[in-house]
């Protein structure tokens, strides 16, 4: 009962400076919303990447020439296939296409053989020359769809018309937004790739524990190659969406710095009015523990309310509004940024860390400045 009454007094005390404290909650909640939005967004993308890229090839073998990614000879496919432990080595044909009409970059992928009906494809995969399947982003940029034609300019500066046999569903945008899939033969012709060369080689390995060993053997056999393992691919996205890097770090630290300034302003001292009030309370029978509990409640009311409101705002912003405010930051200059709904993966550990990092310092910065006054004998009140 005593605790509830002290809470009641704390609330009355905060309401005495209603507008100031409401503004404080608003700013504090906004800071937390930004921090939490960054955490939610990066964690969601990281987990999405780790869940769906798990089926990426065990090894991708690139060829480097003068430090640059170069086309790989088809002879390497045979050498690699013969390494014990290798399941298959298949050449990949792919490249980039700059569309001057829409100022966007597309990724062109060549495929071979029969691919069964994919559940995320509306239509069918290309089975004849000059047929292609496009991602939803390409379709919306060029305002085309299944059944339409798509004209692209090849490396000889000649227009090539493809018949669109299928469009990837928008739910797969995170993977397929900028893709144009055609037969490998069409792609080789389109880019005028030299005969006997592929972009790189996709390798499957029977035993996942042997990936590093086989990568080493490939490098030994062909010193101009650069094998990229599946774990490196997956780690890339761990690093990309790590909140400790790049712009995410900038946003995160700016918000954290703003928060520290807020807490520091509180911590640098209490006003004469507050000191006088504490003196009066002590004089009329409140002891040090009661005063500190009062300050604790004042800190908790502001920080907990802000934290919860900020967290709710961040969740709604990221998972219902698709991070509208942050998306210009993460989009960069990508003309063709996919419209996708983020999967609401939540890391409870991160939430608790955020709570600890934001609530605790604020409560401490409310209690500590009052400490000295709270432990002082109230006779000074008699002297004021």
Partner 1 sequence: MRKHKFFLGFTFLELLFLSTLFLYSRSTVSILNRDEVPAKRELVRYLKLTDLSLWTEARYTRHPSQADIFTPFQDFPSSLEHFPAGSIIGPESIVLQTAITPGRP
Partner 2 sequence: MDSLIRTENVTKIYNPRKPDEVRALESATLNIDKGEVVVLKGPSGSGKTTLLSLIGCMGRPTSGRIVVDGRDIAKLPERFLTLIRRRTFGFIFQQFNLIRNVSVLENILLPLYPVDISFADMRLRGEKILEDLNIRDRMNTKVNKLSGGEQQRVAIARALINGPEIIIADEPTAHLDRKLSTDLLRILQDLNVSGKTIVIATHDPFVYDHPFIKRIVEMRDGRIQDIRLT
Q: Please list every residue from 12 through 31 that binds partner 1, using CB under 8 A.
A: 12, 15
Cβ atoms within 10 Å of 182's Cβ, excluding its own? 27
231 lines the binding site for partner 1 (CB under 8 A) = no
Number of C-alpha atoms within 13 angstroms, CB side, residue 114?
Answer: 2
Of 269, 297, 271, 266, the C-alpha closest to 362 is 266
Q: Tell me whether residue 8 or residue 238 sits nearer to partner 2 (CB atom).
A: 8
Nearer to partner 2, 357 or 375 (CB): 375
From the list 59-67, 266-274, 276-284, 288-296, the region that binds partner 1 by CB under 8 A is 59-67
For partner 1, the closer of residues 200 and 373 by Cβ is: 200
Question: Under the criterion CB under 8 A, does residue 216 sit at the interface with partner 1?
Answer: yes
Beta carbon of residue 342, minimum distance to partner 1 (angstroms, whole number) = 10
Query: Where is 181: in which H helix or E strand?
Result: strand 179-183
Give me the least distance between CB of 266 and partner 2, in Å please.
Answer: 20
Q: For residue 207, state whether it binds partner 1 (rule: CB under 8 A).
A: no
Distance CA 177, CA 200 (A): 22
Rg (CA), the chain: 30
Query: Residue 330, interface with partner 1 (CB under 8 A)?
Result: yes
From 115, 119, 180, 97, select the one nearest 144 (Cα to Cα): 180
Q: DSSP secondary-structure letter at 343?
A: P
Q: Which is nearer to partner 1, 315 or 371 (CB)?
A: 315
Size of the chain, expressed as the number of residues it contains: 384
The site partner of 1 among partner 1, partner 2, none (C-beta below 5 to 8 Å per kind) is partner 2
Q: Which does 192 bind (CB under 5 to 8 A by kind): partner 2, partner 1, none?
A: none
Decide: is 166 part of the binding site for partner 1 (CB under 8 A): no
Taking contact as CB under 8 A, which single stretch among the options 7-15, 253-261, 267-275, 281-289 is the one that binds partner 1? 7-15
State the DSSP H helix or E strand holding residue 29, giving kind and residue range, or none if neither. Answer: helix 18-52
Closest CB to partner 2 among 17 and 103? 17
Q: Which CB, 68 or 383, lies closer to partner 1?
A: 68
- Cα 371 to Cα 365, 378, 381: the distances in Å are 10, 13, 16
101 sits near partner 1 (criterion: CB under 8 A) = no
308 in contact with partner 1 (CB under 8 A): yes
| Residue 74 · residue 179 · CB < 8 Å | no
Number of C-beta neighbours around residue 243 at 10 A: 18
Six token digits for residue 213? 């060993």
Residues that bind partner 2 (CB under 8 A): 1-2, 4-6, 8-9, 12, 16, 276-277, 280-290, 377-379, 381-384
Q: Which residue has the tokens 């004089």?
A: 283
* Residue 170: CB minimum distance to partner 2, A: 57
Cα 115 from Cα 133, distance rounded (Å): 12
């Amino acid at each position: 009962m005593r605790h509830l009454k002290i809470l009641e007094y704390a609330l009355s005390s905060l309401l005495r400076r209603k507008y100031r404290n409401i503004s404080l909650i608003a700013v504090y909640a906004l800071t937390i919303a930004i921090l939490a939005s960054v955490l939610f967004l990066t964690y969601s993308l990281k987990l999405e990447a780790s869940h769906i890229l798990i089926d990426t090839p065990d090894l991708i073998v690139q060829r480097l020439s003068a430090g640059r990614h170069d086309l790989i000879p088809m002879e390497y496919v045979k050498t690699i296939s013969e390494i014990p432990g290798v399941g298959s080595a298949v050449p990949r044909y792919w490249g980039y296409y700059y569309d001057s009409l829409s100022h966007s970059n597309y990724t062109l992928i060549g495929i071979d053989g029969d691919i069964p009906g994919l559940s995320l494809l509306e239509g069918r995969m290309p089975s004849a020359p000059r047929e292609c399947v496009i991602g939803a982003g390409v379709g919306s940029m060029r305002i085309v769809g299944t059944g339409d034609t798509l004209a692209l300019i090849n490396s000889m500066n000649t227009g090539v018309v493809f018949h669109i046999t299928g469009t990837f569903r928008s739910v797969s945008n995170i993977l397929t937004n900028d893709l144009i899939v055609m037969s490998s033969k069409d792609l080789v012709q389109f880019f005028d790739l030299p005969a006997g060369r592929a972009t790189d080689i996709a390798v499957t390995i029977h035993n996942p524990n042997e990936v590093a060993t086989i990568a080493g053997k490939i490098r030994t056999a062909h010193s101009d190659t650069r094998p990229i393992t599946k774990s490196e691919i997956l780690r890339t996205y761990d690093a990309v969406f790590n909140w400790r890097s790049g712009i995410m770090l900038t946003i995160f630290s700016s918000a954290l710095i703003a928060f520290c300034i807020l807490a520091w302003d509180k911590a640098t001292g209490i006003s004469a009015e507050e000191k006088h009030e504490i003196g009066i309370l002590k004089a009329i029978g409140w002891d040090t523990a009661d005063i500190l509990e009062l300050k604790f409640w004042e800190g908790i009311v502001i920080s907990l309310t802000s934290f919860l409101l900020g967290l709710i705002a961040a969740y709604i912003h990221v998972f219902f509004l698709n991070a509208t405010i942050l998306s210009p930051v993460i989009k960069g200059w990508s003309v063709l940024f996919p419209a996708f709904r983020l999967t609401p993966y939540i890391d409870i550990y991160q939430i608790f860390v955020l709570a600890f990092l934001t609530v605790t310092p604020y409560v401490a910065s409310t209690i500590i400045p009052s400490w000295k006054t709270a432990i002082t004998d109230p006779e000074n009140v008699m002297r004021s």
